[in-house]
Structure 1
């Protein structure tokens, strides 16, 4: 049986690929269905699953709704007694809701009720009648205007025995087959439902509705809140009855003050005007300007400015050259941007940018300073004392002989030796002197010659910038 079901489903999927019919549902057509598949019993019933055959007759109330009566037959036996054969007859009546009925592929849902009769062969037991409620899912795939493939899966909620007071079971069926349509649609005299909205033309007050549009009983697009704007165009569904709305179905606000017209007691308020809850302009507050500089106290960052002093937009005296000294106090107006100034707005003298090269000779791979270099140290101490109040950088430099990392460390040790000598021998404050090593990264001459390498092995004393 499972192989039969797989073959049937494969056939349906093949049809889905090759079908080019326009629609699987024709309004007001009668339908005949032939199906085969399987019926599956709940395990507690002790009944074997079995092949299931169906014959259905239906009528399309429109394109979306249909009613259908179905008769089914199967033969099976008890699980614990293979010789106990049963014939089962099923009858059900269903209401079907189609989705996308104008397409060749139409899914649907169904709900209904019916009965199941068990008739044991050879009268081995009394005939048993069960009632059930059923629901299911399926689809129809049009092969032509009159023939469609159909697949259906159904769930049955059954109540055992005639008095409906027995056990409750959940059974299932799956079938596939063909559906044939007769009459209805354009095959009857005249066009019955030309726009295919599910309402026949003789009743349709809005013929020509766009395909897929939800319509009411008279074929017109639905207007759930009755504001005169169809649901498909209504951007504000659920508007209260009697409310004036615009073309999009939203409460109208003609003057754009965010108070709808029905509540607006001051219509035609000029754009941008602040309004209260009933759409009327708010009273304009009187602005207080205590220092009478033309800037309200609420925005004045410099209250108390004399009234004759020109101020900027925040009530502070102007600073035309941007040096943070108000014009009224600035003794050097027009100072260039970026120049440091004093409290009078005048440029602050900058310390002299100067440096001193020391001719200190070090031994190979050594940072020790011999007594022969004392004159150079004295020159450095004099240079530092001549520039009080500034920090001094002592730079160590090397030539390019050796690795870069080694030369950097060597230059730092030599700069450190000079710093230590200046602090310990000449009383230079330690917090004013910083030693830095630059290795071979800042040559002042060509390292390709002995003279150039000698010039590059140097110590420089300079003022920190």
Structure 2
């Protein structure tokens, strides 16, 4: 319910922004940005082996969060992001298990055409990821019973995107990123190669 409301809210903000005053100034040295976003995370295998004959997977699900950016120059900026994905572990012998994934990223951003209304960019950085399983994953490996809990680890991301300035203070943003997750479970863990696509609304000051 929360993620659906977030999507509706961001869409409404975007529609209002399109009717606002035309853009004049875009990415400038010393400027700051705050963005709210919502989108989709595409999952991957959680473990490096089968559990009771099946490989648990992080499900594709809605992601949302906030980003704060500071632009040192017209082109270069630093961005802090806090994201939340309320997902689930699928591919289990029994029913799916809810898994909440929280990420915190520190990214470098390079803007192309920073003085234009349409500003493409590339982004890359490192961060921290924390998983919260609703209950342990229980099964069998090589004939023995196992109990797998959640864990924390580092994350890395890299991607491309674009900001479209509808006014000198408000922008719409599309973003696509590859995300590497070191691990999210505490046994038989496997690194995850995931992708995120998001839409956001930003405010510049």
TM-score (norm 2): 0.73
Deviation at 1:61, TM superposition (A): 0.6
Return the alpha-carbon distance in structure 1 between the equivalents of residues 181 and 112 of structure 2.
Answer: 28
Return the alpha-carbon distance in structure 1 between the equivalents of residues 102 and 200 of structure 2.
Answer: 19
Residue segments in structure 1 that go unaligned for 5+ positions in a row: 183-465
Deviation at 1:153, TM superposition (A): 0.6
Deviation at 1:27, TM superposition (A): 2.1
Instruction: Look at both structures and tell me which one has the larger radius of gyration over its CA atoms.
Output: 1
TM-score (norm 1): 0.34
Deviation at 1:162, TM superposition (A): 8.5
Higher strand content, 1 or 2: 2
* Worse-matched range after superposition: 122-131 or 49-58: 122-131
Deviation at 1:166, TM superposition (A): 4.8
Deviation at 1:83, TM superposition (A): 4.5
Q: Please, which of 60, 78, 83 is the counterpart of residue 89 of structure 2? A: 78
Structural mapping, 1:232-381, within 5 Å: none
Q: Please, which of 150, 166, 169 is the counterpart of residue 192 of structure 2? A: 169
Deviation at 1:19, TM superposition (A): 8.2
Correspondence for 2:144: none
1:110 and 2:112 aligned = no
Q: Please, which of 56, 65, 76 is the counterpart of residue 67 of structure 2? A: 56
Residue segments in structure 2 that go unaligned for 5+ positions in a row: 47-55, 138-147
CA RMSD of aligned residues (A): 3.0
Return the alpha-carbon distance in structure 1 between the equivalents of residues 119 and 30 of structure 2.
Answer: 16
1:38 and 2:40 aligned = yes
Return the alpha-carbon distance in structure 2 between the equivalents of residues 66 and 138 of structure 1.
Answer: 14
Return the alpha-carbon distance in structure 1 between the equivalents of residues 169 and 149 of structure 2.
Answer: 43
Deviation at 1:122, TM superposition (A): 5.2
Higher helix content, 1 or 2: 1
| Structure 1 residue ranges (4+ consecutive) displaced by more than 3 angstroms after TM superposition | 122-127
* Structure with more relative contact order (C-alpha pairs < 8 Å, separation 6 or more): 2
Q: Please, which of 144, 149, 154 is the counterpart of residue 177 of structure 2? A: 154
For the residue of structure 2 that corresponds to 1:70, the secondary structure is strand
